[in-house]
Chain A
Amino acid sequence: MHPAPSVILFTVLSGLGFGFMAYLSLGLLLVQGGWAFVAWGLAYALAVGGLLASTTHLGNPQRALRAFTQWRSSWLSREAWAAVATLLLLAPVALGDWVGFGLPYFWRLIGGALALATVFCTSMIYTQIKAVPRWHHWLTPVLFMGFALAGGALLGLQGGFATLLLVILAGILAAAFAVGDKQFARAGASMESATGLGAIGSVSVFEQPHTGENYLLREMIFTVGRKHAAKLRVIAVICAALIPAALALMGGLTLTLLALIVHLAGAFAARWLFFAEAEHVVGLYYGKR
């Protein structure tokens, strides 16, 4: 799949934002006054920034509101609802933290849950797609939640807990890579099944349907740059999880900031791989994956 920057920004930033929000909402990081403004501001900036980035991916962003209509069937629609609900529900909480009024804890609880649900919905947008076997696995939501929780914990200055989550994230990443590599084969789609010609023999491409470019080749059959995948995987695990884990353990604002930057770099690498390494079955028609 084409690793579009807008989508990478969206998933990484809003994931982190909503993860952080969950900590703030649940009061695992207690902030007040100016600090509350900074913390909630950061969470909102990340979440909303990510969401805005995602709209640049749209062909007709002016109609984006329509995306709220199909919550019954569409994870993207659900995500839109969850995101907006989270942002709305938590706004008074944030305001309260800043100016100093309190809301009932169950409110904060619902807000926190919604923030995580948003991330879950985002992950399900990908997970549901059977045509991309690498994504179509329970590890995908786990991965997204892992990023949100670990990243959020990092930002939420959770110290050892953050370290623990980050180490778990490293494990999830490694597992996702390992499992992902086998997913395409497990899905059972092949050129033979795609064409139905397997009953005759083994199938290969004689001629592509078009020598020119098209949307499918650009969007679904992204083969460029995969050769750097192995290196990037290591970088992703080290940067997104292991270095921040170590830094988080040491604590302190500067180190946390540093950890955050390294984590984001790793997260971007991991998310780039998430797309770039994901092979859509339509590639079978083109003899490419």
Chain B
Amino acid sequence: MTCLPGHTEKKLGLAIDLDTCVGCHACVTACKGWNDQGYGVPLSDQDAYGADPSGVFLNRVHGYQVQPDTGGAAQTINFPRSCLHCEDAPCVTVCPTGASYKRVEDGIVLVNEDACIGCGLCAWACPYGAREMDADAGVMKKCTLCVDRIYNENLPEEDREPACVRTCPTGARHFGDFNDPTSKVSKLTAARGGFDLMPEMGTKPTNKYLPPRPKDQRQEASLLAPLLDIEAKGFAGWLDRILGKI
């Protein structure tokens, strides 16, 4: 299955709003928690309480600072990063075993862990660092777009969304079908100018990022005009004026 399907019925993915993300890492641990007990092997940690702890996470949140070209105050931008479920997913085509595949019905890129030999090639092929090898199980882990939630009939309808989306306190993560122009994610992408990460890699990511809105704009409303010249008219004059006595 490592050939890519030419077309998928749906294009499920996330729209992540960089204007809203406060960098709280809630999506990081919610993802870890869900996937630790969900699809495939648990997300192992090594040396968890030791000098050099490390472990698998399927979603990571970066913090960047941006110095505007126009001068002005530097900005800080929080930046979640997980699998983008690319249309032209190089991680899939490099896979020698067929473990990596892109689902025909919804475009989700998954790893069939029973078939994965843990060669790591797919992680090399992914420009976005969206795949992490589990050091205990020796299989490749990646964001499943919570495939075991979004269709899960054991979950109430409203919970059939990714764990990271459900938990995000600011609502910065949106889930939906990018093939459907009326979906929230499509509309948000259109309205806010959602963009692709590293388009030069030719991966055609499904996930879109919504850019931060312009910041530190000079306020447009007019400044406040004083009631009167307080120095000339004194406090009593001000008082009379404000209380409508003159």
Residues of A within 8 A of B (CB): 1, 57-61, 63-64, 66-70, 72-77, 80, 125, 128-132, 187-189, 191, 193-197, 199-210, 212-216, 218-220, 280-282, 285-286
Contacts and interface: CB of A to CB of B under 8 A. Distances in A.
B14 to A, nearest CB: 14
A70 B64 contact: no
A281 B64 CA distance: 16
B68 A201 contact: yes
A274 to B, nearest CB: 13
Interface residues of B, number: 69
Given A1-B124, A60-B138, A187-B200, A66 B62 contact: no
Contacts of A67: 96-97, 117, 119
A59 B93 CA distance: 19
A131 B84 CA distance: 15
Contacts of B212: 197, 200
Nearest to A196: B195
A132 B121 CA distance: 12
Nearest to A214: B54
A205 B139 contact: no
Given A67-B119, A199-B211, A205 B196 contact: no
A92 B33 CA distance: 55
Contacts of B124: 1, 129, 131-132, 219-220, 280
A286 B63 CA distance: 9
18 contacts: A60-B118, A66-B99, A73-B93, A74-B93, A189-B201, A193-B198, A196-B211, A197-B66, A201-B66, A205-B65, A206-B63, A207-B62, A210-B60, A213-B53, A213-B54, A215-B56, A216-B129, A218-B54
Nearest to A191: B64
List the 4 shortest-distance A-B pairs measured between CB atoms, nearest first.
Answer: A59-B118, A59-B138, A207-B63, A282-B129
Nearest to B92: A73
Interface stretch (B72-80, B172-180, B223-231, B234-242): B72-80
B162 interface: no
Contacts of A212: 52-55
Residue among B116, B124, B134, B135 with the highest chain A CB neighbour number at 10 A: B124
